[in-house]
Amino acid sequence: MTSSQTTLIRRIAPADMARVLDLNEANVPAVGSLDADRLAALVRQSPIALVVEVDDIIVGFCLVLGSDADYDSVNYRWFAERYDDHMYLDRVAFDAAFQGRGLGTLVYAEVERLLGSFDGVKRLTLEINFEPPNEQSLAFHSRRGFVEVGQQDTPYGIRVSMQMTRMGSDPVRVI
């Protein structure tokens, strides 16, 4: 990203949905595949649903669900069965041309800022593909203070690392 580019992080709007779906599908298998109806349902349930614009072009997005969402993801359910004081980062994805430019760091900073407005939220949870490994994501989340609290074999053939970071001074509890 050059210093002359304008970056904006904002709530997903209905007009953004086609582009968000395209970004999602371009990032499979790092994120799960979705159709338009499933994406719309996830966005409706996500208290934090953001797009990242660079010079008025949507180049990324992020969805974060509360601990009480009606979501059938096996990874979401793993956390929901163990923790009630968390929010779950379901997916974050960027256009390949904009990866590695610090936008993920900006998105996570915004998510963490927004998490402060939710009472009782002490943890941000997510999973990362462990086998086969998503090395870039594992390294990024480690630098941001995420720690593994478990692993899970998924029905879609990927072993995932269940990760968590704490908000404030609350310690991460490994179950």
Mean pLDDT on 51-77: 96
> What percent of the chain has a predicted confidence (pLDDT) above 70?
94
pLDDT tens digits, one per residue of 43-55: 999 999 999 999 9
pLDDT tens digits, one per residue of 124-173: 999 999 998 989 899 999 999 999 999 999 998 999 999 999 876 544 54
Name the residue among 78, 69, 67 with its Cα closest to residue 155. Answer: 78
Distant-in-sequence contacts of 13-21, Cβ < 8 A, 24+ apart:
13/51, 16/51, 16/58, 16/61, 17/43, 19/51, 19/58, 20/51, 20/58, 20/61
Which pLDDT belongs to residue 76? 97
Q: Kindly list the distances between the CA atom of residue 89 and the CA atoms of 6, 55, 56, 97, 104, in Å, as whole numbers in the listed order.
A: 25, 25, 24, 23, 13
Residue ranges per domain, the chain?
A: 7-166
Name the residue among 98, 100, 109, 153 with its Cα closest to residue 131. Answer: 153
* CATH fit for domain 7-166, picks 3.40.1160.10, 3.40.630.30, 2.40.50.140, 3.40.50.1000: 3.40.630.30
Which pLDDT belongs to residue 2? 55
Strand partners, 160: 129, 152
> What percent of the chain has a predicted confidence (pLDDT) above 90?
82
The per-residue pLDDT of the chain, averaged, comes to 92
